[in-house]
């Protein structure tokens, strides 16, 4: 079992072996609290950009639906007259300085998520190890009037105007403990200070507020449906109806994401038949041609697919699932009101 699976079994399951780290908790809590307090005290001295910055992040490790939210925000803001841009860390990226991503960028150079985001949104995307550098470059080189930071809630060198936290609806906050005993990057009460708390749900999940979300956050909390759009062939770009998931037998599933079971549950809700196989790889794993079965139907996530476009593999039956987060009306209204109340920018 990989280290990632081993920790997840403790954080989100019944295993309690991470309790061996409990003696470290006073130091961890002190560090997390100090980092947050320093940000609050020194916020006025941080770089304050001329446009609003919206951070889409999480308080737990692993996948929570940040990328679908970033895509949905960009698409909605464009309908409202804004020109959004995206900044990202670019996990695994090899660049030393801020880099503008384009559709022909290599995932090895810029990371899988930034490449997926630029392809999906057609918005400017800049990556840098320090998000302030990415912010400065995108403001200098691109015509944008609102910035979406993909991740970075705990990157306190970055000033921000609006914070959106994504919470996995099913796994929640696990055992509720800070790293490494639990999956929390910050205590659950960090949610008191953010602007929006969102859970992406499948069509078969209830849209009720989970127990792990404090009741006093009801006005901040939203459940939003993660809808499946279609299947796209990795090699040809041909779009197929979702019915092929039911029509074809023995699918092979590949995922190198933080929470592959969410991907599996989505496929099952679409009618995926028993007899499938799974190949769950570490988050951000660099997929190789040898990881792709030479025959049979294969399906992967969109984030993983961008790592496969340039690979040489013989199987013509490899697809990726394209999903879209449906922003609800209350969220959209509150978001636009929040942006309108900022004196930095007005939509074109």
What angle do helix axes 66-79 and 329-340 make, rounded to 10 degrees? Answer: 70
Of residues 190 and 209, more confidence is placed in 190
Q: In whole angstroms, give the CA distance from residue 321 to residue 54.
A: 27
- Phi, psi for residue 133 in degrees, rounded to 5: -65, -40
With beta carbons less than 8 A apart as the criterion, state whether 146 and 40 touch: no
Query: Where on the phi/psi map is residue 131: left (φ > 0), alpha (ψ -120 to 50), or beta?
Result: alpha
Give CA 208 to chain center in angstroms.
22
Q: What is the pLDDT of residue 296?
A: 94
Pairing of strands 84-88, 196-201: unpaired
With beta carbons less than 8 A apart as the criterion, state whether 157 and 38 touch: no
Q: Which two tokens stand for residue 88?
A: 């990202």
Q: In whole angstroms, give the CA distance from residue 146 to residue 176.
A: 33
With beta carbons less than 8 A apart as the criterion, state whether 36 and 156 touch: yes
Q: Which residue has the tokens 């590949």?
A: 254
Average the pLDDT over 172-190 and give the result.
95
Quick check: 4 pLDDT over 90? no
Q: What is the pLDDT of residue 249?
A: 81
With beta carbons less than 8 A apart as the criterion, state whether 281 and 263 touch: no
Dump pLDDT digits (tens) for 107-147.
888 989 999 999 999 999 999 999 999 999 999 999 999 99
């Amino acid at each position: 079992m990989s280290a990632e699976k081993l920790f997840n079994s403790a954080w989100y399951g019944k295993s309690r072996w991470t309790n061996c780290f409990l003696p470290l908790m006073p130091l961890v809590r002190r560090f997390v609290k100090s980092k947050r307090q320093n940000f609050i005290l020194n916020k006025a001295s941080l770089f304050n950009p001329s446009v609003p910055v919206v951070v889409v992040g999480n308080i737990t490790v692993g996948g929570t639906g940040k990328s679908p939210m970033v895509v949905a925000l960009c698409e909605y803001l464009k309908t409202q007259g804004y020109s959004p841009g995206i900044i990202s860390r670019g996990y695994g990226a090899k660049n030393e300085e801020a880099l503008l991503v384009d559709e022909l960028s290599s995932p090895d150079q810029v990371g899988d998520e930034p490449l997926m985001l630029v392809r999906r949104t057609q918005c400017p995307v800049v990556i840098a190890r320090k998000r302030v550098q990415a912010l400065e470059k995108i403001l200098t080189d691109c015509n944008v009037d609102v910035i979406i930071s993909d991740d970075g809630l705990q990157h306190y060198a970055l000033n921000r105007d609006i914070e959106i936290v994504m919470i996995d609806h099913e796994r929640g906050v696990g055992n509720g403990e800070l790293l490494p005993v639990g999956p929390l990057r910050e205590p659950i009460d960090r949610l008191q200070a953010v602007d929006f708390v969102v859970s992406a749900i499948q069509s078969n999940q209830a849209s009720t507020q989970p127990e792990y979300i404090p009741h006093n956050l009801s006005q901040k909390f939203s459940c939003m449906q993660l809808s499946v759009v279609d299947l796209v062939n990795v090699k040809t770009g041909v779009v197929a109806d979702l019915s092929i998931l039911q029509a074809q037998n023995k699918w092979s599933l590949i995922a190198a994401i933080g929470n592959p079971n969410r991907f599996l549950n989505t496929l099952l809700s679409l009618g995926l038949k028993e007899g499938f196989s799974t190949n769950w790889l570490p988050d951000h794993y660099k997929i190789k041609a040898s990881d792709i079965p030479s025959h049979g139907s294969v399906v992967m996530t969109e984030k993983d697919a961008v790592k496969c476009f340039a690979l040489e593999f013989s199987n013509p039956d490899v697809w990726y699932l394209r999903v879209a987060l449906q922003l609800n009306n209350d969220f959209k209204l509150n978001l636009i009101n929040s942006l309108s109340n900022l004196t930095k920018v007005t939509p074109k």
